[in-house]
Amino acid sequence: MIERNKLGMILFLLSESVFFLLLILAYAFYHTSGELGTKAAHALNVIQSGIFSVALFSSSFTLWQADRCLKDGERARVRFWLAATVGLGLIFLVGQGIEYARLLRDQITISRNLFGTTFFTLTGFHGLHVAVGLALLMILFGLSARKNGSEPSPVAMGSISLYWHFVDGVWVVIFSIVYLWGFI
């Protein structure tokens, strides 16, 4: 039997999957529409975004390590791995901000054309999820840093880990479709 909080997170993530699926399909429709205007291959920096994406992908490993250390009762290592996860997530968000700033300097906005609309909506929705995940991870870190011997519960760590791994998995799909497929 699945623990109630974990089941709640799974159901929530299933509902979020529908939102992401629809946004990805909208972007794919744009990509195949033949619309004249900005194309991903001309607007996006796949190498730079790939580097920032590696930070996000690596954060799944660091969170897995934090979860493993929590199960082993290694409080100091839990804090270390949670801090590393937060740091990697922040690196990714900074990278997304750099990408956005460059696009805006190039006059590519959410209202300019179909590329801007679908790109900023899809990646912005994902960025919002990363920011929420970072807030949750910082709460876990705060719990693990308290002096009174308390630590994050395995249920909280497990539920937040599910959310974070989902956010990472969604980025694999988004990066593949937006950044890599854009060059085909």
Is residue 29 one of the residues assigned to a domain? no
DSSP string, the chain: ---HHHHHHHHHHHHHHHHHHHHHHHHHHHHHH--SS--HHHH--HHHHHHHHHHHHHHHHHHHHHHHHHHTT-HHHHHHHHHHHHHHHHHHHHHHHHHHHHHHHTT--TTTSHHHHHHHHHHHHHHHHHHHHHHHHHHHHHHHH-TTS----HHHHHHHHHHHHHHHHHHHHHIIIIIIGGG-
What tens digit of pLDDT does each residue of 44-87 get?
A: 889 999 999 999 999 999 999 999 999 998 888 999 999 999 99
Would you state the pLDDT for residue 35? 64
154: in domain: yes
**150, pLDDT greater than 90:** no
Task: Write out the residue range of the structural domain in which residue 150 sits.
Answer: 44-183
* pLDDT given for residue 113 in this prediction: 81
Q: What is the pTM of this model?
A: 0.91
**pLDDT value of position 137:** 97
Q: Tell me: the pLDDT tens digits for 87-137? A: 999 999 999 999 999 999 989 888 888 888 889 999 999 999 999 999 999
- Higher pLDDT pick, 1 / 99: 99
Task: Report if residue 16 sits inside a domain.
Answer: no
> Can you tell me the distance from the alpha carbon of 63 to that of 81, in angstroms, rounded to the nearest whole number?
6
In whole angstroms, give the CA distance from residue 133 to residue 165: 10
What distance in Å separates the CA atoms of residue 13 and residue 48, rounded to the nearest whole number? 29
Q: Is the pLDDT of residue 149 over 80?
A: no
Number of domains present in the structure of the chain: 1
Q: What is the CATH number of the domain that holds 60?
A: 1.20.120.80
Identify whether 61 is part of a domain. Answer: yes
Is residue 176 domain-resident?
yes
